Structure 1
Amino acid sequence: MKFSMTEHGFSGDLPFGELSVSTNEEHGFRPYQLLVASLAVCSAGIIRKVLEKQRMPADDIQAEVKEIVRIDGEAGRVSKVHLHFLIKGEIDESKMPRVMELTRKNCSMVRSVENSIEVVETYEIV
């Protein structure tokens, strides 16, 4: 990956397309948004894979960020993220604690921040 300075931030030409990053939302994604999006989508993707392996494929999974706690005195450091997953399908509720345990264990993004950001994961079967 390579990022180049622009008038309002930085731009990266990635395999899927251009990614604009800026501290100003009017000119690109804010860095903390990309961090939180990585946590949410990585976790949701692992939930999907685990459910498929357990022969309970989800019809749909929505990842909602319920809370982001940032510490102003520490340069706006993200200290907590609450991710809530809405899972649609014929899912055996009794297997969900194990699904969530495997998700946390296998999500590289959550594992990368586990000693610095509290990641809370909740779910609903809809």
Structure 2
Amino acid sequence: MEFYLSEGGIRAVLPYGELDISGNEEFGYRPFQLMMASVAGCSGSVFRKVLDKKRIEIDDMKISAEVERDAEQANKITAIHLHVVVKGVNLDPDQLEKSLEIARKNCSMVRTIEDSVKITERLEIISLSS
């Protein structure tokens, strides 16, 4: 990865494209937003892979993320709360909960920060009619 000075922040040049990073949302994504996106994106991707391997079919998934920060410690992220909403037909709550636990154990972003940031997950299941 390469990073360059840009107007109001830093620009990352990545294989998929360019990413502008700034403490000011007018010039790019804020670093804490990227941290949350990394955790939610990794968790969701691994969760989906686990479901695929277990042949658990879902129709949709949405992840909402909330952050807690400590203003007295340079706005350090202290907690990230993930709310995972899964929609599908005939979903088994126990299988989904176990799959989410497996995903947590295999998400590199969660594993990297779990000793310094409290990460919680809440699963909501919306059953659709067949």
| TM superposition score category, shorter chain reference | over 0.9
Q: How high is the TM-score relative to the length of structure 2?
A: 0.92
Distance in 1 of aligned mates of 2:13 and 2:95: 41
- Mapped partners of 1:39, 1:73: distance in 2: 23
Runs of 4+ in 1 over 6 A off after TM superposition: none
The aligned residue for residue 84 of structure 2 is 85
Q: Distance in 2 between matches of 1:106 and 1:39?
A: 12
Give the whole-Å Cα distance in 1 for the aligned partners of 2:49 and 2:57: 8
Query: Residue in 2 aligned with 1:124?
Result: 124
Partner Cα distance (2:45, 2:69) in 1: 25
Cα offset for 1:43? Answer: 0.5
Task: Give the 3-state SS of the residue equivalent to 1:58 in structure 2.
Answer: coil
Alignment of 1:10-21 (within 5 A): 10-21=10-21
**When the two structures are aligned, how many residues end up with a matched partner?**
125
Shift of 1:94: 2.0
Find the aligned partners of 1:57 and 1:96 in 2 and give their Cα distance: 11
Deviations 1:54-113 (A, max 9, x none): 111222111111x21101111100000100011112321121221121011000000000
Aligned-partner residue type, residue 79 of structure 2? K
2:9 maps to what in 1?
9
CA distance in 1, matches of 2:41, 2:9: 24
3-state SS in 2 of match to 1:80:
strand
RMSD: 0.9
Aligned equivalent of 1:75: 74
The TM-score normalised by the length of structure 1 is: 0.95
Structure 1 SS opposite 2:12: strand
Q: Which residue of 2 aligns with 1:35?
A: 35
SS of match in other structure, 1:5: strand
Aligned to 2:61: 61
Hey, what does 1:112 align to over in structure 2? Answer: 112
